[in-house]
Structure 1
Amino acid sequence: MADKSKFIDYIDEALEKSKETALSRLLFTYQGIPYPITMCTLETFQALDTFEARSDDIVLASYPKCGSNWLLYIVSELIFTVTKKKHEYPEFPVLECGDPEKYQRMKQFPSPRILATHLHYDKLPESIFKNKVKILVLFRNPKDTAVSFFHFHNDVPDIPSYGSWDEFFKQFMKGQVSWGSYFDFAINWNKHIEDANVKCILYEDLKENLASGIKQIAEFFGFSLTGEQIDTISALSTFEAMRARSQVTHGAVGPFLFRKGKVGDWRNLFHQSQNQEMDEKFEACLAGTSVGVKLKYNSYCQA
């Protein structure tokens, strides 16, 4: 990410808005899903419908706090390795965040453009499907996702915080958090996870074998890399390496974006009743589905 300043400016601006926003007024609903007023606007969503995707755009989809910044970095490094051009972010890379004019400005960006998003599949602009854009979807187990989301709210100084973990958990399970319900997101993407232009990867798999994950990502997007190049990107993309650079890459919020990156951190916060509630929700929504199987829930979420 060569042009960090715009990226950091946008984050600083969102944090500044957060300072003046009470938790109870943080969310507005668009087409049935809550979004944060500090990052999204009704006008931007309306303008997004007219966004013109290119067939060589790269879409990175994930629910919040599932490793999207990590994935952005990996894909930027892949592009750099293949094209020798540093991928720049003249705009904040999350497609639905920013002002309505950003889509006009994005017409000037060189290909390939990276479009990160937390949107459901069916909320993406039509041109993405029309042009058969490749979409990489990153999933993380729901318990660690919830804990990471809670810490983000309660550790970042200017973001409205929750009174307690119990309070956040209730809202998370109801889907009354930014970008809505984790389970609705997963159910919606599950319908398309076997599509030819969609690939699903797991945060936990990347943690376990980063080089293998990077190789799969490169192959999916048609980047031809040597084993040595994959190892180099892998070394630069470990959680520890990203955390060490986070203040430079993401400004003041960096260390909070790359907090622990651990698998199983949920055990420090979940009570028995919350475990049971989440297990039942998973069973009802995702057990036996393609996404449910890919999540390896029994390995990562059993107490």
Structure 2
Amino acid sequence: MNENRKLFLKNVDKIYDSASKRSPGELQFTYEGILYPTTICSLGNFQALEGFEAIKDDVILVTYPKSGTMWVYQIIQEIVYTATNRSPSSDISLIELGAPDHLECLKQQPSPRVLHTHLHYNNIPTSIFKTTAKKLVLFRNPKDTAVSYFHFYNSSPMFPTFSTWDEFFKHFMSGKVCWGSYFESLLTWNKHLDDEDVMIITYEDLKEGLFRWELFLLVLNRWKGRNLVAGVKQIAEFLGFPLNQKQIQAIADQSTFQNMKVNYQGTHSQFAQALFRKGVIGDWRNYFSPAQNQEMDTKFKEYLGETKLGAKLKYDTYCKA
């Protein structure tokens, strides 16, 4: 295990130890009206982010929490590092993470840097939009996102726990969770669907391809995951890293949920248990009441009905009871 990996695991243990000693009310703080976890974010870093300097070769993944972040983050890393012949990093380059010295560490990363953020569009450092840095934006249907986020809150000491799903649902719908409102986060990106340096993808489109691949692999033992491979190829081309078919296939092969879950247990210590749960589509049906279904349907229509982004999320396919 290299020294960077040892330091990362040590920091994870330190964060968990610090979180376990805090009261629920001390686990979150508010910055510009949005909640953030105290143990991994800081006021000093948010202030320092105002001066963050993006560079034209940066690759930036933007997601709302629990939308498949680590899955797509790994795919991006594999694409970039395969194309540049570098070793992927297991560290989490969340730009809002930690204290200001974290940003200093990011400055030392060789180009192209692979970064990511959960920040709302309006809170992302403006320098990112003043460069040709590639922005890959990942969304997941709101119902599965909410359920996954509920379990994330309850499986990590970094967040206050919720005694019931119903309690969490009220907080999620009102945006009183870390990184704020899911709906507000999506809405702004609808204006940027056609930006040349922005690519918006959905968890479901990639996952459906992966599911079909795994299913046929069991049956035929030679299915090549055409849909996922096509997704990896499309991402690579958008990022400006055209890879050959063998390289693309290798990235798809190692990007199964189970493979990542096992690998991250070795690289992310106890944090891996919170990062990976089921990774399925439609688990929300085990949690949502009829009234909650109606409330979510109404809110989605209010924010994203009749929009291009709303259509891209295929809400009627994945979120109708």
TM-score by structure 2 length?
A: 0.89
Structure 1 residue aligned with 2:311:
293
Q: Structure 2 residue aligned with 1:269, among 287, 293, 302?
A: 287
- Counterpart of 2:98 in structure 1 is 98
1:294 aligned partner, one-letter code: K
> Per-residue displacement from partner, 1:138-185 (whole Å, max 9, x unpaired)?
000000000000111223366431011000000000100000110010
Name the structure 1 match of 2:205. Answer: 205
Amino acid at match of 1:295: L
Stretches of structure 2 lacking an aligned partner (at least 5 in a row): 210-227
For 2:185, the equivalent position in structure 1 comes to: 185
8 Å CA contact 1:78–1:233 kept in 2: the answer is: yes
Once residues 242 and 105 of structure 1 are traced to their aligned partners in structure 2, the CA distance between those partners, rounded to angstroms, is 25
What secondary structure sits across from 1:45 in the alignment? helix
Matched with 1:4 is 5
1:87-137 Cα offsets, whole Å, 9 max, x none, are 336x64111111112222322211111111001122111211122211000
* Residue in 2 that maps onto 1:22: 23
CA distance in 1, matches of 2:157, 2:197: 39
- Residue 260 of structure 1 corresponds to which residue in structure 2? 278
Do the aligned partners of 1:23 and 1:162 also contact (CA within 8 Å) in 2? no
Residues 193-245 of structure 1: per-residue CA shift (max 9 Å, x gap): 32111100000111122212111110110111111211111010111111122
Give the SS at the match of 2:192.
Answer: coil
Q: 1:132 to 1:144 in 2, by over 3 A?
A: same
For structure 1, the 5+ residue unaligned runs are none
CA contact (8 A) 1:79 1:86 kept: no
The Cα of 1:189 is off from its aligned counterpart by: 2.0
Between the aligned partners of 1:101 and 1:143, the Cα distance in structure 2 is 36
The answer on whether the counterparts of 1:27 and 1:177 sit within 8 Å (CA) in structure 2 is no
* Secondary structure of 1:98's aligned partner: coil
Q: Distance in 2 between matches of 1:54 and 1:176?
A: 33
Residue-pair matches, total: 302
96-105 or 43-52, which moves further after superposition? 96-105
The two structures, once aligned, show a CA RMSD in angstroms of 1.8
Contact 1:6 1:92 in 2 (8 A): no
Q: Residue 214 of structure 1 corresponds to which residue in structure 2? A: 232
Instruction: Return the alpha-carbon distance in structure 2 between the equivalents of residues 159 and 59 of structure 1.
Output: 25
- The CA distance in 2 between the partners of 1:20 and 1:172, in whole Å, is 25
CA distance in 1 between partners of 2:237 and 2:23 (Å): 44
Would the aligned equivalents of 2:19 and 2:157 in 1 still touch at CA under 8 Å?
Answer: no
